[in-house]
Structure 1
Amino acid sequence: MDMIIRAVAIYLVLLVVFKIAGRRTLLQMTSFDLILLLIISEATQQALLGNDFSITGAALTIITLVVIDMLFGMVKKYVSGAESMIDGSPVILVENGELLYEKMKLADISCDDIMASARNNQGIYKIADIKFAILERNGHISIITKES
């Protein structure tokens, strides 16, 4: 039972931490982000398993985490507003070639982030050519050109 409680607690802690960190952390991984993720993984493993390194303990932890994830999925599906609260909602960062600085600041997204996405996905080199740039729930920036 201790392992299940640990798994639930760590899942919730990580959910809150990544919610606070924002979607920008999902946008693009740098070498620092990869190192941080590896350290978080190691700390999480130790917190989840404690001194129990048995196959049964690991299986119980994995099953608990998957069940929690499935429960959150059901909550998002059946409870109105839960998906926006858990995953956030898309945010428009550029509208008709104009940067929306307040929304960019809240999302911790720079003009360079938007332009990198525009260059990579659409071959766009000027903000003026962007009709909409939208920060999606998954952390990616969708670009809609004025030509579309």
Structure 2
Amino acid sequence: MHTAVMGTAGFLVLVLLLRISGARTMASMTPLDFVVAVTLGSAFGRTVTAVDVPASQAVAALVLLVGLQWLLATVRYRGGWMRRAVDSPPVLLWYDGALVQESLRRHRMTEADVHTAAREAGHGSLAGLQAVILQQDGSLGVITADGMGDGSTVLPYVEGHPA
């Protein structure tokens, strides 16, 4: 009975907290968001299965974790040192017809990963691609030469850009 009550109550509190904290909590996950999600899951799992954890302590833990995520997101939004400390910049892996070997090495990626990204984006080869980027959430983005334009949404923010 304890598990059913705590599970239901914890679930409702968690849904309410995530609804209040906004879409950022559930958006495409950065490493920080992943840590928060795992920690929330761990805290929620402990409260559901442990008989010795009072409901008030469970709610306090969930509120604390979501509050910390919200606080870090707010400080990150304002920029400066926190954004640099928390966010990994996008990284060029392929640019202008060539692999960016230093970026591949540093991020433990391979040429095969770049080819896989091209295939997943519907391209049969790297010809015609301007950039393959390791995004902040760990996904690989593909930009065609036709889609690059002046590069203003890509190049200023990408580690490893040759310019």
**TM-score interval (norm. to shorter):** 0.5 to 0.7
- Tell me the residue number matched to 2:114: 114
1:131 counterpart letter in structure 2: Q
Instruction: Give distance in 1, aligned partners of 2:82 and 2:96.
Output: 30
Unpaired stretches in structure 2, ≥5 consecutive residues = 1-30, 148-163
**Aligned pairs, number:** 111
Superposition pairs of residues 11-90 of structure 1, within 5 angstroms: 52-90=52-90
Instruction: Give distance in 2, aligned partners of 1:97 and 1:89.
Output: 21
Asked whether the equivalents of residues 89 and 136 of structure 1 are also in contact (C-alpha less than 8 Å), the reply is yes
- Tell me the residue number matched to 1:5: none
- Tell me the residue number matched to 1:138: 137
Instruction: Establish whether residue 100 from structure 1 lines up as the match of residue 126 from structure 2.
Output: no
Q: Deviations over 1:89-110 (max 9, x none)?
A: 1111111121001101111222
Higher helix share: 1
2:146 counterpart letter in structure 1: E
Instruction: Give distance in 1, aligned partners of 2:74 and 2:59.
Output: 22
* Cα pair distance change 1:52/1:144, threshold 3 Å: same
Secondary structure in structure 2 of the residue aligned to 1:134: strand
RMSD between superposed Cα atoms in Å: 3.0
2:144 counterpart letter in structure 1: T
Q: Deviations over 1:53-76 (max 9, x none)?
A: 332222111101001101111111
Asked whether the equivalents of residues 98 and 128 of structure 1 are also in contact (C-alpha less than 8 Å), the reply is no
Identity %: 22
Asked whether the equivalents of residues 88 and 136 of structure 2 are also in contact (C-alpha less than 8 Å), the reply is yes
Asked whether the equivalents of residues 44 and 62 of structure 2 are also in contact (C-alpha less than 8 Å), the reply is no
Choose 1 or 2 for highest CA Rg. 2
User: 1:51 Cα deviation (Å)?
Assistant: 7.3
- Greater length-normalized contact order (CA 8 Å, ≥ 6 residues apart): 1
Secondary structure in structure 2 of the residue aligned to 1:131: strand
